[in-house]
Chain A
Amino acid sequence: MNIITNPKKLRGFERYVKVDNVSRRSILKGLGLAGGFVLAAPVMSRPGLAAYKTGAGEMPHGTVVDPRVFVAIAPDGIVTIVAHRAEMGTGVRTSLPMIVAEEMEADWSRVRVQQAHGDEVKFGNQDTDGSRSTRHYLMPMRQIGASARTMLETAAANRWGVPATEVKAVNHEVVHSASGRRIGFGDLAADAAKQSVPSVEGLKLKDPKDFRYLGKGQISMVDLRDITVGTARYGADVRLPGMKYAVIARPPVTGGKVASFDGAAAMKVSGVEKVMEVKGWPWPSKFQPLGGVAVIARNTGAAIKGRDALKIVWDDGANGKYESVAYRAQLEEAARKPGLVVRKEGDVEAALKGADKVIVGEYYLPHLAHVAMEPPAAVADVKGDKAEIWGPVQSAGGTREDVAKTLGIPQENVTVNVTLLGGGFGRKSKCDFAIEAALLSKELGAPVKVQWTREDDVRNGFLHTVSVERIEAGLDKNGKVTAWRHRSVAPSIASTFAAGAVHQAPFELGMGLVDMPFEIANVQCENPEAAAHTRIGWFRSVSNIPRAFAVQSMVAELALATKRDPKDMLLELIGSPRIVKLDSVKDLWNYGEPYESYPIDTARLRKVVELVAEKGGWGRSVPKGHGLGIAAHRSFVSYIATIVEVAVDDKGKLTVPRVDTAIDCGTFVNPERIQSQIEGTAIMGLSLAKHGAITFKDGKVQQGNFDDFPVIRMDESPAVTNVYIVPPGPDTPPSGVGEPGVPPFAPALINAIFAATGKRIRALPIGKQLEA
């Protein structure tokens, strides 16, 4: 097997944090994990050649470029291609195999997709997050396909006794045009398998002008039919003989634990078989379960009813006083004082003092819950020192490692079967629910399904952080922005891994704070401290949401202050087409990508603004009570700009008649799925802007379901969302799609509301603010 891997790559916290070896070691010590997570995988050299470099090789276990791992051809010609990333709605389970099929000249109607189980040594990195799959795997998948095609061609040439240069794979067969002979892939399968795998260096990739599938968008998701007939299998749909159903009452306060419990009434509920305590880990402990009391029953309904009858006394621990109103005041106070300087150009203090006018904006975004449509659920069957897991996990490899470690068994003894994910949004990067199922199965000696209720999902998850962003912008007499100070205060995801983490990690600072692209002489970014009091995790688009909200709102505030058109102001701030230099930023995190391949290119940012302005009819006249807002943002190394049209009636009722979004995600694979992602991010952006707030009182989440944590429904959804995809330049590397759509939506909406009503909203969600 040929593998590119880096044995130094560690799983967990470190993978997302760019740290040098010295500090990585010290972080490990701090976490008490020294050495324990190191994977001793062999290093073999089969580097994937690429016209551009990506960070794929830096991910745990890197990439594997081996057709024998990913492609199988049956004698009947059916080509099976392995999808090693998780499907949660982006279409990746279709797109990546489609890239292989394209290069190997397979006919898509004769391709079957097989989901990989969790095995990163075999398949390479499987973390489906960070909008990374296409950008890391476009080239490796092309190389796998080209290798398979070359092996098929060589087998045919050998059989016919002609030079390999004379034959060519075309639509599921190899053709020798000189003699008119042709032979199908199925007939060549056995011979092709005997060929040596060609060197990556010598591979000939297809000319993009000959692409049949890539970039075309005519192929539907492989799961489409199953989804519409109800046979698509998600985590909770897995059923095993003798399987028990479990729900768990978890501590309502992060870091709390069970003091005592009485399960007698629960045991009386029809169908309940057992009540038992489940092991929890002290906070913070990465993705380990919170513990609590489990009710085991013959069906989920009985387990839920049993849980309702439990009497539990909780010991709330240190976070029992966490309260959102007070915490917001604390963040605001921190944002008004100097903090750790994380970017510095020029002299911002002097420039603000010398400014003709200083505009200050303070922007607040509360905690958010993912509420993926499918609440977490997993099935485990643990027998002796072997474990099998079925579940909707974004990180199959990580789940395997964490389950193995928790059970104290070798990773090789753990099989992780990846089902479809009913939405992920970062929640299912954390495998706590799979670990819970494994612990219960071990204890009960039977297969167990753990089902999280919606309330569990809202109250016991890994929330999006809560933040105050404070921006001070200094203007000179001519209305030119000469100073920009941005203080960002928010508890860090690092706090879920290490106690006492009070600063944002590089991967958070790099999401819209230190990478701010404006052409301003004096810039300073600061990060005052903030301590976490609940589990903070990745939420689709992560810190880009509050940062884009703040920065792009400030652009419109500056436009107002200088009486300019917001789009013109935005373009002026972006400034000249150039590659942004961020020399003052230590540990610049560029979504894990090398800056040379993925620099901040303001020409591309300008382009999406100009494109959306043109297509979306920026400046068009709108009816009374309507307004247009614009915002642009680079995230996950893609560039995106959005125009939102709103209508606000006299009672303050907000509707969205139209959304226009332009995206430049470089070379793309499936424009149809890009469109659907952007349509969806408009809804998610509208949900969080209009309704999204998780709040705490006495350390407990106050919301529980879609009544008090509402998301957008069809009757409030935008009437039309138009998507424009920038055609890529010839060598533009692929970039993210799943997440970039969310961040610009809220500021575009808020700017539109200002245009419609003259009301500037600086704290989300909008809630009833327009009704006043």
Chain B
Amino acid sequence: MITLKINGQQKNWDGDPDLPLLWFLRDEAGLTGTKYGCGQALCGACTVIVDKQAVRACITSVSDVVGREVTTIEGLHPTGDHAVQKAWRQLNVPQCGFCQVGQIMQAAALLLENPKPSHDQIREAMAGNICRCGCYQRIENAVHLASTGV
């Protein structure tokens, strides 16, 4: 039996300890905010925060996060009003929206590490997150906005 801490809550798992965290979150814990886009750490759609770092849940197994704090979009902010989320709404960032949870989690992790990133730093830090709809200009601006106060 593995015990995980997700968004401050204990979750137990007695299945395959190698199960990618992504599928545990989505299918076993019902936290479907975290998305599947590639399964190979290539797109960032599955990004969650483990302790204070952005992590790709698709290549992280459940056993890897035992004893650590996993934060998903559902736990990012109690009312969904994290500075990044607010900036996203203010700039109408999303198109289809499917990548956006991963983008938001990545951006939130970036701001934990670097509260005032430059545009170049934003472009570099967000480069692991694909947006097939092509919202990059707005994502970049929204991260900047979130870092300077919404």
Contacts and interface: CB of A to CB of B under 8 A. Distances in A.
A422 interface: yes
Interface string A118-135: 000000000000000000
A300 interface: yes
B23 A714 contact: no
Interface residues of A, number: 67
B146 to A, nearest CB: 12
Contact of B96 (A89, A270, A301, A721): A89
Interface string B122-150: 11101111111111111110000000000
A546 B45 CA distance: 30
A91 B96 CA distance: 8
Contacts of B85: 228-229
A356 B134 CA distance: 45
A373 B20 contact: no
Interface in B28-44: 28, 30, 32-40, 42-43
Interface string A326-369: 00000000000000000000000000000000000000000000
Contacts of A454: 37-40, 43
B132 to A, nearest CB: 4
B30 A714 contact: no
A627 B60 CA distance: 44
- A interface SS class: loop
A302 B97 contact: no
Interface string B95-108: 11111110010000
A239 interface: yes
B69 interface: no
A79 to B, nearest CB: 23
A227 interface: yes
A228 B104 contact: yes
Nearest to B124: A715
A237 B27 CA distance: 9
B26 to A, nearest CB: 7
Contact of B39 (A236, A304, A420): A304
Given A89-B95, A373-B43, A422-B98, A299 B133 contact: no
A230 B37 contact: no
Contacts of B139: 714
A224 B92 contact: yes
Contacts of B80: 225, 228-229
Interface string B1-43: 0000000000000011001101110111010111111111011
A230 B127 contact: no
A705 B30 contact: no
Contact of B37 (A224, A270, A375): A375
- B interface SS class: loop
Contacts of B40: 454, 705-707
B130 to A, nearest CB: 6
B130 A706 contact: yes
- Which of B20, B73, B133, B139 gathers most chain A CB within 10 Å? B133
Nearest to B61: A301
Interface string A221-254: 1011101111111101101000001000000000
Interface in A712-740: 712-715, 717-718, 720-721
A681 B134 contact: yes
Given A270-B15, A372-B96, A301 B135 contact: no
Contacts of A423: 95-96, 98, 132-133
A565 interface: no
A270 B28 CA distance: 14
Interface in A167-198: none
A717 B16 CA distance: 40
Contacts of B99: 373, 422
Contacts of A715: 123-124, 127
Contacts of A232: 97
Contacts of B22: 301
Contacts of B117: none
Interface of B: 15-16, 19-20, 22-24, 26-28, 30, 32-40, 42-43, 45, 72-74, 80, 85, 88-89, 92, 94-101, 104, 122-124, 126-140
Interface of A: 87-91, 220-221, 223-225, 227-234, 236-237, 239, 245, 269-271, 298-302, 304-305, 371-375, 420-425, 451, 453-454, 672, 676-677, 679-684, 705-707, 711-715, 717-718, 720-721
Given A229-B80, A299-B28, A714-B136, 6 more contacts: A228-B85, A304-B39, A372-B98, A374-B96, A374-B98, A422-B99
14 contacts: A91-B95, A221-B92, A227-B97, A301-B20, A373-B98, A420-B96, A420-B98, A454-B37, A676-B135, A684-B132, A706-B40, A706-B43, A711-B132, A714-B136
